[in-house]
Amino acid sequence: MPDNATPPPPPPPPPGQEAKPAATSTPPAGQPDAGHVPITEELDSAKWTLPPIVPLVVAGAIVAILVSVIVLSNRSKPSAAMAITKVASADQQGNTMVAIQVKIDNQIDKPLWVKNISAEVETPDGKKLSDMAAPSVDAPRYMQAFPPLEEARADWLKEELKIPAKGSFNGTAIFSYPLPKASFDGRKQVTLRIQIYDQPTLVAVNTPGR
Give the distance from CA 10 to its chain's centroid: 95
Distance CA 74, CA 69 (A): 9
Question: Averaged over 93-119, what is the pLDDT?
Answer: 96
For residue 31, being part of any structural domain is answered with no
- The more confidently predicted of residues 52 and 76 is 52
Q: Which of these three, 74, 91, 124, is where a domain ends? A: 74
Compute the average pLDDT of residues 11-16: 58
Closest among 87, 75, 58 to 173, alpha carbons compared: 87
pLDDT of residue 15 exceeding 80: no
Quick check: 129 pLDDT over 80?
yes
Q: 32 lies in a domain? A: no
User: pLDDT tens digits, residue range 146-179?
Assistant: 999 999 999 999 999 999 999 999 999 999 999 9
Same domain for 68 and 87?
no
The answer to whether residues 70 and 114 belong to one domain is: no
Q: Given its phi and psi angles, is residue 5 left (phi above 0), alpha (psi -120 to 50 degrees) or beta?
A: beta
Pairing of strands 168-177, 155-156: parallel
What pLDDT was estimated at residue 69? 63
Query: What is the pTM assigned to this prediction?
Result: 0.64
Q: Is the residue at 1 inside a domain?
A: no
Which of the pair, 76 or 194, is modelled with greater confidence?
194
- State pLDDT tens for residues 130-140: 999 999 899 89
Same domain, 69 and 85: no
- Looking at the 3D structure of the chain, how many domains does it have? 2
Q: Would 111 be classed as within a structural domain? A: yes
Is 110 a domain residue? yes
Tens of pLDDT along 22-44?
555 555 555 555 555 555 555 45
Does pLDDT of 55 surpass 70?
A: yes
For residue 1, name the pLDDT band (cuts at 50, 70, 90).
Answer: very low
Inform me whether the pLDDT recorded for 4 exceeds 80: no
Q: Are 50 and 136 part of one and the same domain? A: no
Residue 25 inside a domain? The answer is: no
At 197, which CATH number?
2.60.40
For residues 145 and 66, state if they share a domain. Answer: no
Q: Is the pLDDT higher at 15 or at 46?
A: 15
Mean pLDDT of the chain: 81
Same domain for 86 and 58: no
Shared domain check, 183 and 108 = yes
Which residues, other chains included, contact 46 with Cβ-Cβ below 8 Å and sequence gap of 6+? Answer: none
107 in the same domain as 68:
no
What is the Cα 23 distance to its own chain's centre?
75
Sequence-distant (6+) residues with CB within 8 A of 47 are none
Inter-residue contact 99 to 176 (CB < 8 Å): no
Residues 122 and 59 in one domain: no
- Whether residue 84 is predicted with pLDDT greater than 60 in this model: the reply is yes
Is the dihedral angle over the CA atoms 32, 36, 38, 43 positive or is it negative?
positive
Domain, as residue range, for 59: 39-74
Distance CA 70, CA 109 (A): 22
Name which residue leads in pLDDT, 89 or 70: 89
Pairing of strands 128-132, 112-122: antiparallel
Residues near 183 by beta carbon (within 8 Å), at least 6 away in sequence: 96, 123, 124
